[in-house]
Amino acid sequence: MAGVSASSHPHPPPASGPQRDADVLVIGGGHAGIEAAAAAARLGARVVLVSFELDRIGEMSCNPAIGGLGKGQLVREIDALGGLMGVAADRTGIQFRMLGTGKGAAARAPRCQSDRHRYRETVTALLAAQEGVELVAGEALGLVLEEGAGGTAVAGVRLAGGRVLRAPATILTTGTFLRAVMHTGEQQARGGRIGERSSEGLAGDVARLELALGRLKTGTPPRLERGSIDYARLEEQAGDSCPRPFSYTTERRGFPRLPQVPCHLTWTNPTTHAIIRENVHLSPMYAGRIQGVGPRYCPSVEDKIVRFADRERHQVFLEPEGLESEVVYAGGVSTSLPARVQEAFVHTIEGLERARFLRHGYAVEYDFVQPSQLAPTLAVRAVPGLFLAGQINGTSGYEEAAGQGLIAGANAALWVLDREPFLLGRHEAFLGVMVDDLIVTNPSEPYRMFTSRAEYRLLLRSDNADRRLVGRGAALGLVPKERAEAVARKEETIAAVIATLDSIRPEPSRSLRDILRRPEVGLAQLEERYPALAAHGLDEELREAVEIEVKYAGYIERQAENVRRLERQERTEIPPELDYGGLVGLASEARERLERLRPRTLGAASRIAGVRPPDVALLAVHVERLRRQRARSE
Amino acid sequence: MDTICAVASAAGGGRRAVIRLSGPAAATIVAAACPGVELSARGLACVEFHDGVGTQPVLLLWMPAPRSYTGEDVAELHLLGSPPLVRAALGRLVALGARPARGGEFTRRAFENGRLDLTRAEGVAELIAARSREERRAATALLSGGLGGRVARLRDALVDLRALTEASLDFDEGATGEIPTGALAARARELMAAIEEARAWEARRVPASGLARVTLVGAPNAGKSSLFNALTGGGGGLPALVSPQGGTTRDVKSATWLAGGAEVELFDTAGEEPARGEAESLAQERRRRQVEGADLVLGVVDAVCPRRVAGADLLAWNKLDLPGAAPPPEGPPPVVGTSARTGLGLEELGAAVARALATRSSGLSRSLGARHLAALEAAGSRLETALAGLEAGETLDLFAEGLREVTDALDGISGLTTPEDLLDRIFAHFCLGK
């Protein structure tokens, strides 16, 4: 396809430069950086990943857990595209639970507690074993900026010590390093690199690119010492007795590898709340020292007590950080109150009366790049050679970061190799929903995945991520061909079982498939009674797939029909240079938003709040008119 | 892409009827219905059409893609204009895999396949702009009349229910507290009752006939009922009671009237004056509601003792045949001199009504009303299914999906329809090229 359009990369492929140290540079070794480097390398790009400290690659900077509602689906999708997160989680999980089991297939999502230390080691080893990835310890001090035909382009990074690494594509996965400030009570400290002022170095170079930024905040709870907690008085929460892995490649034999441990529950009480209320003016949020917007779904304990004053107690979820670790993460009581207040209120909680603090809670305030400036490849539209993934785009969560890393890494490689980009639609994957949400509506709070964000939730389940994505991954080269063949075999088995269900008619008017549709009937029951079904030798995973296929059939068909109906709109691209000012009849609110957000397709335009159907219809006709004018003049 | 079919000639019993079939399966379908037919090149042929009951002689016009109206393979079947024969032929096409076309779908496909030229495409753009303005106006007017508040409250309750359901799906119970299924079901039942109430309210407002509503208003004894009888021939049933005594008409009476060639539903109402008894105050209430729902308010003025009529779109200057009648004044609103007794000016009045209806967006308001009803019905039935599922033990994700569909249905009322629907409607209401 000639020219630059929405379904291609936003910039023409890079010229084969005089000298390059890599095809793709990844700055940052967090969850986004890891998947970015690995995905680019799987596609055949030569990758250099630069991290400040190599032994902190894959660090879990917040709670020691992977997956959960909405997030477990992301991990399964990353895995279906050959990513590392699911495999590493399976190898290092110390408690596995399937969440949302009673609420239906679309809600179900795997979660695990990870051994923080082992997770880091395992994922670093997996990355180091990936052919084409070189790990470089170093501090990125700045970007190599070059003026070119497409404006200022990024051509590499400068490291501390003077080394310069040149590559046509650079992916920044640097988390919260932009103007980060850490708050504990009245104390503030610059986050990011010690001794580096926010206007200098990498952050300064990003500022020179004149990207629009926003400000967010996030908080962490205290870390307590295991030996100081009175577990005898706490409620225990064990993992599933029959745990299931994240990765489709994990062998069920010998899983889980590590001994499994419980988590523990306790609750705040009126005394706790009284202490917090008395001291809330010392919290930087309430003292007005934090302007960034925090996530509503993960409020600080101060927030919970102020905003939900009528609740008598809030849950505290004590998560072990590892098998041998003395560190316990106190989930649910994120706080940036002064250290002594934190200690005072924690000591009012049952079981934590004598808890020793290994680390106090704190809040981090940071800038993020407004992601509406990104193409769906996660390339910065205005800056050739620069890709962004992870928290820098306003998201929160390891899984969200890893997913973006995979998309950015794959597309950076595809761009450098002059291949078509890899884009996922909203109906294909939560990854597609996330990227679309980010670029269509700038997040106003740290963006976290929820299943309710996906209008095609019933199609995007954690159980079928392999059936949705492995084939595409294999076609691209992200996933070995054998995995695609395995998925094809799975499809065949499912079809064969359904044929058997159709062929058996216990009553003249009803087949086994009809009977299986009833909510109270399970496939296992039918297998016991009908040998022809049992002969398929189904395992748990296939049984579940068949049940969902049958029980959700009507709904799935309706959603699929909606996807087909809106397909044309999703495919119709809006020329990037379109002049909205010259479009007569557009409501002024719609014009303002369209000008600012510049959606790529009619589908994206229709999802912008304030853009009404008539506006989209007008836009549709205008785009069609432009297309014809261009066709005529060519 | 589906293959679609529809009667392309005007409705009713013409001498010949035309059925149009368009889409990738057009050739297969025609070949199956007309054995032995040759469909290689564009052209006209006389064929036998097997409609499943017997055979019909049919003139077949075959236009292969892309040189056809829609840009797809198109077959036009010209057959005898007998309704049973046409129905049989259509039924046969559907049995062979065609789908009945939605209104405007042929034009829509023509547009999308680049078969409308640039001028027409721009015409489409202008129509959309104009229609969108008009729709916004009509929708605002309608929604301010009572349905709007109801729908806003419905949406509110629905959003609440969805939020509860989604929270239960997206958060651990530790965070949300337990949300029992019974509580969701109870709220869903309340919502269903509210949807039904809104539907009943809108049903009272929207005529079942789908005709434009013209309501007669005026002072007591201005001659509304006489005019009503003269225009409608008494409405087929008993003529409206007429007496020289004002205030005879207490009930709202309606009948169809052929106004300037357009069929409308004409309503007679009680005269406008302060109510004296309970029966009269009821009559006044009915009158008020009737005026609210009218597409056109036709004021009737006694030319002998003229009194102002507020809110009329058009005035009939009645009793012009009586001595002492004042001559009709200059509008606005437009004024037509009439006499219900002699028939003077009645034809002119019909033409004026037709003109006024054509220039106002009242047709739109009527189609919006029908759409509202359909939307409320769809919302109610979707909610009923979702609730039944929940109570039968279906999982919460399916209930949530049902609620999403209910929201989609309700969004059709607040004008939050998808652009796709809007384009469909535009093409359905305007004949763009042929």
Mean pLDDT of A224-241: 95
Mean pLDDT of A97-105: 92
Predicted pLDDT at B429: 46
Tell me: pLDDT of A285 over 60: yes
Predicted pLDDT at A563: 83
Predicted pLDDT at A199: 45
- The residue in chain B having the minimum alpha-carbon distance to the alpha carbon of residue A603 is B419
Chain B interface disruption, residue of A433, A520, A602, A624, most B CBs within 10 A:
A624
Between A594 and B341, name the one with better pLDDT. Answer: A594
Q: Do B419 and A104 touch (CB under 8 A)?
A: no
Mind telling me how many Å the CA of A225 is from chain B's nearest CA?
Answer: 23
Task: Identify the DSSP state of B233.
Answer: G
Domain A223-363, architecture per CATH: Beta Barrel (2.40)
Predicted pLDDT at B431: 43
Tell me: pLDDT of A5 over 70: no
Mean pLDDT of A427-448: 90
| pLDDT level of residue B13 (50, 70, 90 thresholds) | very low
Q: Do B121 and A555 touch (CB under 8 A)?
A: no
Q: Do A617 and B128 touch (CB under 8 A)?
A: yes
Count of CB pairs separated by less than 8 Å, A with B: 126
pLDDT above 90 as % of chain A? 63
Question: B398-424: per-residue pLDDT in tens?
Answer: 999 999 889 888 876 665 544 455 455
Tell me: pLDDT of A489 over 50: yes
Looking at the partner chain, which of B166, B395, B422 has a beta carbon nearest the beta carbon of A104?
A: B395
Provide the total of helices (H) and of strands (E) in chain B, helices listed first.
Answer: 13, 12
Tell me: pLDDT of A393 over 90: yes
pLDDT above 90 as % of chain B? 17
Q: Do A105 and B418 touch (CB under 8 A)?
A: no
Question: A174-203: per-residue pLDDT in tens?
Answer: 988 888 888 887 778 776 444 444 446 788
Predicted pLDDT at A610: 73
Q: Do B169 and A452 touch (CB under 8 A)?
A: yes
Mind telling me how many Å the CA of B69 is from chain A's nearest CA?
Answer: 18
Mean pLDDT of A135-145: 92
Q: Which two tokens stand for residue B234?
A: 């008494």
Mind telling me how many Å the CA of A618 is from chain B's nearest CA?
Answer: 6
Nearest to A431 by CA among A377, A485, A368, A367: A377
A22 φ, ψ (degrees, to nearest 5): -160, 165
**Chain B positions in Cβ-Cβ contact with residue A317 (cut-off 8 Å):** 174
Q: Which two tokens stand for residue A159?
A: 């490291």
pLDDT above 70 as % of chain A? 96
Mind telling me how many Å the CA of A211 is from chain B's nearest CA?
Answer: 32
Looking at the partner chain, which of A566, A612, A618 has a beta carbon nearest the beta carbon of B125?
A: A618
Looking at the partner chain, which of B171, B393, B418 has a beta carbon nearest the beta carbon of A69?
A: B171
Predicted pLDDT at B361: 46
**Chain B positions in Cβ-Cβ contact with residue A69 (cut-off 8 Å):** 169-172
| pLDDT level of residue A3 (50, 70, 90 thresholds) | very low
CATH class of this structure's domain A21-217+366-476: alpha beta
d(CA A217, CA A445): 8
d(CA A578, CA A210): 22
Between A82 and B323, name the one with better pLDDT. Answer: A82
**Chain B positions in Cβ-Cβ contact with residue A584 (cut-off 8 Å):** 129
Mind telling me how many Å the CA of B396 is from chain A's nearest CA?
Answer: 5
- Compute the mean pLDDT over every residue in chain B, rounded to the nearest whole number: 76
Tell me: pLDDT of B222 over 60: yes
Predicted pLDDT at B279: 61
A 10 A CB-CB count for A209 gives 17
Mean pLDDT of B364-390: 80
Looking at the partner chain, which of A107, A451, A617 has a beta carbon nearest the beta carbon of B422?
A: A617
Place of tokens 């009977």: A515
Predicted pLDDT at B138: 55
Tell me: pLDDT of B206 over 70: no
Predicted pLDDT at B213: 76
Mind telling me how many Å the CA of B202 is from chain A's nearest CA?
Answer: 24
Q: Do B169 and A617 touch (CB under 8 A)?
A: no
d(CA A533, CA B276): 79
For residue A170, what are the β-bridge partners? A25, A386
Chain A interface disruption, residue of B398, B411, B413, B425, most A CBs within 10 A:
B398
Tell me: pLDDT of A439 over 60: yes
Between A233 and B106, name the one with better pLDDT. Answer: A233
**Chain B positions in Cβ-Cβ contact with residue A452 (cut-off 8 Å):** 166, 169-170, 400
Predicted pLDDT at B116: 66
Predicted complex ipTM: 0.83
Least confident of A572-581, B89-98, B304-313: B304-313
Q: Report which secondary-structure segment, H or E, holds B5.
A: strand B4-7
Question: A563-616: per-residue pLDDT in tens?
Answer: 887 777 788 888 888 888 877 777 777 888 888 888 888 888 888 877 876 678
Q: Do B118 and A565 touch (CB under 8 A)?
A: no
d(CA A513, CA A534): 15
Tell me: pLDDT of A414 over 90: yes
| pLDDT level of residue B350 (50, 70, 90 thresholds) | confident
Mind telling me how many Å the CA of A138 is from chain B's nearest CA?
Answer: 40
Tell me: pLDDT of A389 over 70: yes
**Chain A positions in Cβ-Cβ contact with residue B415 (cut-off 8 Å):** 612-613
Between A79 and B377, name the one with better pLDDT. Answer: A79
- The residue in chain B having the minimum alpha-carbon distance to the alpha carbon of residue A452 is B166
Looking at the partner chain, which of A103, A602, A624 has a beta carbon nearest the beta carbon of B121?
A: A624
Predicted pLDDT at A6: 47
Peptide bond preceding B84 in cis form (omega within 30 of 0): no
Q: Do A315 and B401 touch (CB under 8 A)?
A: no
**Chain A positions in Cβ-Cβ contact with residue B421 (cut-off 8 Å):** 613
Q: Do A585 and B112 touch (CB under 8 A)?
A: no
DSSP A198-256: TTSHHHHHHHHTT--EEEEEEEE--EEEGGGS-GGGSEEE---SS---S-TTS-STT-S
Cα A278–A284–A288 angle (5° rounding)?
A: 105
Between A590 and B115, name the one with better pLDDT. Answer: A590
Predicted pLDDT at A193: 42
A162 contacts: CB under 8 Å, gap ≥ 6: none
Task: Identify the DSSP state of A259.
Answer: P
Chain A interface disruption, residue of B118, B122, B131, B132, most A CBs within 10 A:
B132
Mean pLDDT of B310-315: 81
For residue A111, what are the β-bridge partners? A67, A97
| pLDDT level of residue B368 (50, 70, 90 thresholds) | low
Q: Do A618 and B415 touch (CB under 8 A)?
A: no
Least confident of A53-57, A424-428, B43-47, B285-289: B285-289
| pLDDT level of residue B103 (50, 70, 90 thresholds) | low
Contact A319, A331 (CB under 8 A): yes
- How would you class B155 by CB atoms within 10 Å of its CB: exposed for 0-12, middle for 13-18, buried for 19 or more? middle
Between A90 and A296, name the one with better pLDDT. Answer: A90
Q: Which sequence spans correspond to the domains of chain A? A: 21-217+366-476, 223-363, 499-557, 572-633
Predicted pLDDT at B9: 67
Mean pLDDT of A34-56: 95
d(CA B74, CA B65): 7
Predicted pLDDT at B12: 45
- How would you class B84 by CB atoms within 10 Å of its CB: exposed for 0-12, middle for 13-18, buried for 19 or more? exposed
**Chain B positions in Cβ-Cβ contact with residue A615 (cut-off 8 Å):** 132
The Cα diameter of chain B in Å comes to 87
d(CA A290, CA A307): 17
Residues in chain A: 634
Predicted pLDDT at A206: 86
Predicted pLDDT at A67: 96
Tell me: pLDDT of B157 over 80: yes
| pLDDT level of residue A222 (50, 70, 90 thresholds) | very high
Chain B interface disruption, residue of A452, A517, A550, A561, most B CBs within 10 A:
A452
d(CA B19, CA B337): 46
Predicted pLDDT at A2: 32
Task: Identify the DSSP state of A132.
Answer: T
User: pTM of the full predicted structure?
Assistant: 0.77
Mind telling me how many Å the CA of A113 is from chain B's nearest CA?
Answer: 15
Tell me: pLDDT of B118 over 90: no
Between A516 and B313, name the one with better pLDDT. Answer: A516
Mean pLDDT of A244-261: 94
Q: Do A450 and B401 touch (CB under 8 A)?
A: no
SS3 sequence of B111-158: HHCCCCCHHHHHHHHHHHHHHHHHHHHHHHHHHHHHHHHHHHHHHHHH
Predicted pLDDT at A284: 83
Q: Do A566 and B418 touch (CB under 8 A)?
A: yes
Predicted pLDDT at B224: 82
Mind telling me how many Å the CA of B180 is from chain A's nearest CA?
Answer: 12
Mind telling me how many Å the CA of B367 is from chain A's nearest CA?
Answer: 17
Mean pLDDT of A315-327: 95
d(CA A22, CA A377): 19
Q: Do A584 and B129 touch (CB under 8 A)?
A: yes
Instruction: Please give the CATH topology (third level) of the domain spanning A572-633.
Output: DNA polymerase; domain 1 (1.10.150)
